[in-house]
Structure 1
Amino acid sequence: MRWSLLPLLIALPAAAHAQALSPAEAAQVDRIVTEALAQSGTPSASIAIVRGGRLAYAKAYGKQSETVRTALTDAPYQIASVSKQFTAAALLLLEDEGKLSLDDTVAKYVPGITGGDRITLRQLLSHTSGLQDYWPQDYSFKAMSTPVTPQGIVDRWAKKPLDFQPGEQWQYSNTGYVVAGMIVEKVSGQPLLDFLNARIFRPLGITAYDQDLAIGPKFPQGYGRAALGPLRPVTPAARGWLYAAGELSMSASDLAKWDIARINRTVLPADDWLMQETAVKLNNGTDTGYGLGVTVGRGAGRKMIEHSGEAVGFLSENIVFPDDKAAVVVLTNTWSSGTYRVLAQKLVPVALPGTSAAAGDPADAASLAKVRTVFAQLQAGQLDRSLLTEDANFYFDTQNRADFRTSLAPLGAPREIVAIGKPSLRGGFVSRRFRANYPDRALNVSTFFEPGANGRIEQFLVTAADAQ
């Protein structure tokens, strides 16, 4: 359930544009999406564009499942961590009613959590609690094949030693949101989705599903691939693994209704919207760039609210420019392609003509030796399993190893493998990204390492580098 802030946007226009897309703009959007799907092999995408505080365009493209061959605009995709802002909104509403305070400690509501007498609800929502993330990987780890309860997640991950003292660092934690969801249910006396339906979704006309139930012939299906192997339907996680950290499925146009509510300051009190969109600071005063369930960015002095999401076989992006009354929603049904992000970057200029993207972070060359070794081993059909953690060994089963070998071996040795971006902490691991460059193509390599010079690999995923 990933979090990924898009590169900051520059050259934003001075005023909101008229909401309707012209025929030429609609044709441009269709071309952008269809070309991106064809280039990347992404099965389908559902998009929505908001201009002038109103829905300007919504359309679905491609193959949504093996049984739904004609893309339906109202089909509910799994939005995963985009759901976090709804969990945060539920706690804000309960605070409005005087039933809790975001400055309460976790121990007041959920016993037995490490540091629960020091962690506040605000720190849960802003990823500054120190609770270890239970799902940092971009694949289904072994335990996810078995159903789980929120308490089960808490017992396994929230009772470990803290990764840091509350408020000392920022580190994404799905675990913190599971705890937050449990608190919503305890204080409200309702299941989380029932509370959200009553207070947010029905008033906005949004049809939202528990994504554990949004599975079957009527719903979009998730797809994945091992390295450059064939695209295959993926097996959903067992029931309970997403919960308050990312349990929702909805259409792009329904998610846009929430974005419009944000723009127009409806359904929540205005001060709740402001609080959610205000970046939380660490104990030392450092700005985290993250509010309550949303990232907070700026481009050319303008506010940008964003969050992405990853479920098993799905990736999504949601970007809102509240002051410019514009938003872009992109939902895709594969987790093996960055097409969701590429599409969002290309559609923002349609929502806000004149926008362009700034350059990304400089590359970092750490951990290259081990990445090169494992990449070559996978090409050769060999794998030194002592280099991998238990979960990574679980991922590299017979089928995935074969797909890595058959798809990567014909490419030969890459011209170079370089680090891109900066390392970051995630779920107790160090996340590092690399790119394998060939004369005619490039591949992305996403890795998680255990901390330390001798840390084993928790994740090693290879995908095609999407056209920018």
Structure 2
Amino acid sequence: MRSIAVSLVASLFLSLPLFASPEAWQALPAPLKAELEGVAISLYELGPDGGEVALSRGNLTETTPLRIASVTKTFVAATALRLVEDGKLDLMKPMTTYVDKAFTDILREDGYDVDAITVKHLMSHTGGLTDHAQTKTFFDIIIKDPSHVWTREQALRGAVDWSEPKGAPGEKFSYSDTGYILLGHIIEKLTGKPLAAAVRLQLGLDQIGMPDTYWELAEENEDAAKRRAHQMLDGMDTYGWSATLDHYGGGGLVSSTRDMARFFQALFSGKVFRKPETLNLMLSNEGLPADSPYRLGIFVKEEKGVTYYEHSGFWGTVVLYVPSSGRTLSGAVLDQAHFKMMRQGLMEVVASGQ
């Protein structure tokens, strides 16, 4: 049943100009309606010519603001690359060049060779840093007290106390929110601005046109904040969980499927960076482990011979760009349990080559 439904989602997404009305829902094939019954889902496509396709179901539309979690990393990495363009940041320098000694001293306690970890290592998840956000202790603290206010220092301390280094710098890919917390700190130091303000200014988010997008706790967007979705995890409504648990660069942004697509479309069509070679740098695997799927803030993957650039977020969000067609696809579900099905549907679209 699931494979049938996924294929039908893909075919509908390819063919329908808009799929949101109750009448259209009733016209769906029975197997698909059974699979999607009760699933709040938003799929959105933006073509190179500006054409849009939206599919939505439940209390979720292409303009519903959600916490996008790790999709934020693409925004943060792109901001760092803008600083490279301006000559303010050197990716090959050790992170100790830019990071406060108080933070590097915490990492030294756990045996990290912080003088050998470069900024590029942080951006590509190849610095050997653990991921504090994937430890049992991190989640235990959140479940016990969802309102707990996290600081950047607490997260780094957790990385040291709750886990061990994942390898030598440059040895292998190992995904790390901890590394992006440090990258966010670097951006703040070099720009003299809070991370949210630096990202917005350096990437020109206002010019792109992203009305549903803001950085929680750091930016005001009353309209979007009032509409922010209640995202579910294992039967728990996470709406009231402190945004500080994912705030300092590994996550932090609230956005919508439409806004995520608009940013990816602008980024990968050459409208964010000032120099074409910067986008090439972002997507290059030069100097990275041969088997790494990650570049600088973005996954580069292939589905049945079709290359695409992707990032997803923990709560159930994903956005991807297909360079061969110039199309951007994004998706979100309100319940994380439905994320796999949604992403499989998007992969059907990518593989179709249409």
Q: TM-score, normalised by structure 1?
A: 0.60
Greater strand share, structure number:
1
Cα distance in 2 for residues equivalent to 1:252 and 1:170: 28
Match of 2:139 among 133, 138, 141: 141
**Which secondary structure does the structure 1 equivalent of 2:316 belong to?**
strand
Distance across 1 between alignment mates of 2:29 and 2:114 = 46
**Which among 202, 210, 224 is matched to residue 233 of structure 2?**
224
Instruction: Give runs of aligned pairs for residues 14-53 of structure 1, distance below 5 A.
Output: 24=16, 26=18, 39=35, 43-53=39-49
Give SS of 1:320's match.
strand
Say if 2:73 and 2:250, in contact at 8 Å, map to a contact too. yes
User: The residue matched to 2:244 in structure 1 has which SS?
Assistant: coil
Report if the CA contact (8 A) 2:152-2:181 is conserved: yes
Among 37, 55, 58, the alignment partner of 2:54 is 58
Per the TM alignment, residue 253 of structure 1 is displaced from its structure 2 partner at its CA by 0.8
Q: Which amino acid aligns with 2:98?
A: Y
- Tell me the amino acid that sits aligned with residue 276 of structure 1: M
Task: Tell me, yes or no, if the aligned pair for 2:333 and 2:342 is still in contact at 8 Å.
Answer: no
Aligned counterparts of 2:116 and 2:181: Cα–Cα separation in 1? 17
Shift of residue 301, structure 1, vs aligned partner: 4.7
Going from structure 1 to structure 2, the CA distance change for 1:222 and 1:353 (only over 3 Å counts) comes to: same
Q: Which moved more, 1:35-44 or 1:192-201?
A: 35-44
- How do 1:283-362 and structure 2 match up within 5 A? 286-299=290-303, 301-310=305-314, 314-335=315-336, 337=337, 339-347=338-346, 349-350=348-349, 353-354=352-353
Letter of the 1:326 counterpart: R
Distance 1:304 1:287 in 2: 16
Distance 2:14 2:199 in 1: 31
Q: Is the 8 A contact 2:77 2:296 kept in 1?
A: yes
Distance 1:170 1:120 in 2: 14
Distance 2:119 2:239 in 1: 33
Which SS does the other structure have where 1:142 is aligned? helix
Identity of aligned residues (%): 24
Aligned residues, how many?
316
Unaligned 5+ segments in structure 2 are 1-12
Which residue of structure 2 lines up, in the alignment, with residue 171 of structure 1? 174
Q: Indicate if the aligned counterparts of 1:280 and 1:291 stay in contact, CA closer than 8 A.
A: no
2:78 to 75, 78, 89: 89
The equivalences for 1:105-144 within 5 A come to 105-110=94-99, 111=101, 112=105, 113-114=107-108, 115-136=113-134, 141-144=139-142
Q: For the structure 1 residues 93 and 148, does the alpha-carbon distance in structure 2 shift closer, same or farther, using more than 3 Å as the test?
A: same
Q: Tell me if structure 2 keeps the 8 A contact 1:276–1:291.
A: yes
Taking the aligned partners of 1:148 and 1:135, their CA distance within structure 2 comes to 12
In structure 1, what residue type is equivalent to 2:228? Answer: F
Larger radius of gyration: 1
Deviations 1:316-342 (A, max 9, x none): 11121123201210011122x1x3332
The AA in structure 2 aligned to 1:322 is P
151-160 or 119-128: bigger deviation: 151-160
In 2: Cα distance, 1:189 partner to 1:42 partner: 46
Equivalence for 2:5 = none
Kept after mapping to 1: 8 A contact 2:132/2:138: no
Conserved? CA contact 2:132–2:156, under 8 Å: no
Letter of the structure 2 residue corresponding to residue 221 of structure 1: H
Structure 1 gaps of 5+ residues are 1-19, 64-70, 226-230, 356-468
- How many Å apart are 1:51 and its aligned residue? 2.6
CA displacement, residues 149-187 of structure 1 (integer Å, 9 cap, x when unaligned): 112212332587522111112111110000000000011
Note the 1:171-320 alignment, pairs <5 A.
171-200=174-203, 201-207=205-211, 208-211=213-216, 218-225=227-234, 231-234=235-238, 236-243=240-247, 244-268=249-273, 269-279=275-285, 281-282=287-288, 286-299=290-303, 301-310=305-314, 314-320=315-321
Deviation sequence 1:245-281 (CA, Å, 0-9, x none): 0111111111111121134211213222222222354
**1:61-76 map, 5 Å:** 61-63=57-59, 71-76=60-65
Return the offset for 1:62. 0.4
Residues in 2 aligned to 1:26 and 1:352: alpha-carbon distance in whole angstroms: 21
Contact 1:48 1:328 in 2 (8 A): yes
Secondary structure of the 2:73 match is helix
- TM-score, length of structure 2 as denominator length: 0.78
Change (3 A) 1:288 1:281: farther
CA contact (8 A) 2:17 2:53 kept: no
Measured in 1, the distance between the counterparts of 2:327 and 2:136 equals 30
Residue 77 (structure 1) aligned with residue 77 (structure 2) = no
User: Residues 354 and 302 from structure 1, CA distance in 2 versus in 1: closer, same or farther, beyond 3 angstroms?
Assistant: closer
RMSD, aligned CA: 3.2
CA distances 1:384-418 after superposition (whole Å, capped 9, x unpaired): xxxxxxxxxxxxxxxxxxxxxxxxxxxxxxxxxxx
C-alpha distance 161-136 of structure 1, shift in aligned 2 (>3 A): closer
